[in-house]
Amino acid sequence: MKKAAEGGVKDFLQLMKPSLSIMVVFSSVISYLLVPDVMYDWWRIVLLFVGGLLVTGSANTINQVVERDTDAQMKRTAKRPIAAGRLTPEQGWGFAIFSGAVGIFILGYYFNWTAGALAAFSLFLYAFVYTPLKKVNSVAVLVGAFPGAFPCLIGWVAGFVPGQQINWLGGIVLFGIQFLWQFPHFWAIAWVAHKDYSSVGFKLLPSDKGPTRFTALQTVVYSLLMLPITVAPFFVGICEYGTVKGMIGAVLIIAANLFLIGRSVTLYNKMDVPSARKVMFGSYIHLPVVLLALLLAKA
């Protein structure tokens, strides 16, 4: 009996895709800490983390409920709790509604309702627009990049107390960083998993012909675009470059971008799955390094 209960808890946790959700919420917390004069209150940081985790987990759960049939057909997703039949769609919906509502409430009540509203909109966009669009057109990747980048904007907005004027420019710059980052990141994933995705009708690469040189070129282009957007915080008052920590932060950001650009160029030259996999894992390294470097260089 105890073993079955533990298995159930594990399945509900898997619905949230914890490794992905933690990475998403990490960017939200860093963006919050980048707000000028923000309170370094560990209780508030934990609340932001939990609220963001619940909202992201809700979106991921709805994604698995809606895509349970296609998940069951793909090797990489067949063992997910709902696709494998360990949880019912009704259990998934109930968990998604509860976690989403609690997460939005935490962000709205303990921070401000602008952050809560942005979280609600992001959840809706991911679960009910991006998810069904994946089988219609590859523009789904563009649509999905918006809720994927909203955590940065939500974290930034959460750093302003109710009644305080929000500096939207800083939040938009941080949003832009995670928005552009998702293209080389996700196209690399779609390249690696192309057979699985195409077998169930997902259209996630820029070309209808699958992994092509055009896709690789797009990956290079967006990797190059990461360079100006990741140094933009130094020009909008978020970070400073006239100090030792500012210079170290700038060097780390440039190095991280050159690293991602190099891997994308390799993909363009080799046009193979191992190179795409290197872009994918390289992007997982790139974003945390950039965000932490920005925090180091905070003005």
Amino acid at site 133: L
Tell me the C-alpha to C-alpha distance, in Å, between residue 147 and each of 105, 143, 194: 18, 8, 23
Write down the pLDDT at residue 245.
93
- Alpha-carbon torsion, ordered 39, 160, 169, 116, to 10 deg: 120
Write down the pLDDT at residue 138.
77
Is residue 81 within 8 A of residue 14, CB to CB? The reply is: yes
Is residue 229 within 8 A of residue 180, CB to CB? The reply is: yes
pLDDT tens-digit series, residues 114-149: 999 999 999 999 999 998 888 887 788 889 999 999
Q: What are phi and psi of 38, to 5 degrees?
A: -65, 150
Write down the pLDDT at residue 4.
35
Tell me the C-alpha to C-alpha distance, in Å, between residue 205 and each of 112, 216, 263, 276: 37, 10, 18, 13
Whole-angstrom distance, CA of residue 106 vs CA of residue 116: 8
The kind and range of the H/E element at 223 are helix 213-231
Whole-angstrom distance, CA of residue 175 vs CA of residue 167: 13
Of 230, 218, 219, 227, give the one whose Cα is nearest residue 177. 230
3-state class (DSSP) for residue 1: coil
The kind and range of the H/E element at 21 are helix 18-33
Is residue 117 within 8 A of residue 103, CB to CB? The reply is: no
Write down the pLDDT at residue 277.
95
Write down the pLDDT at residue 14.
87
Whole-structure pTM value: 0.90
Q: What is the mean pLDDT of each run of 10 residues along the chain (299 residues)?
A: 50 85 91 91 94 94 91 85 91 95 96 96 94 84 92 95 89 96 92 82 77 92 96 93 92 96 96 94 95 94
Write down the pLDDT at residue 135.
82
Write down the pLDDT at residue 252.
96
Tokens of residue 243, six digits: 């100090």
Place of tokens 């006239």: 242
pLDDT tens-digit series, residues 219-230: 999 999 999 999
Residue 7's contacts (CB-CB under 8 Å, 6 or more residues apart) are 86
Beta bridge partners of 239: 298
Tell me the C-alpha to C-alpha distance, in Å, between residue 53 and each of 13, 48, 263: 11, 8, 30
Write down the pLDDT at residue 17.
85
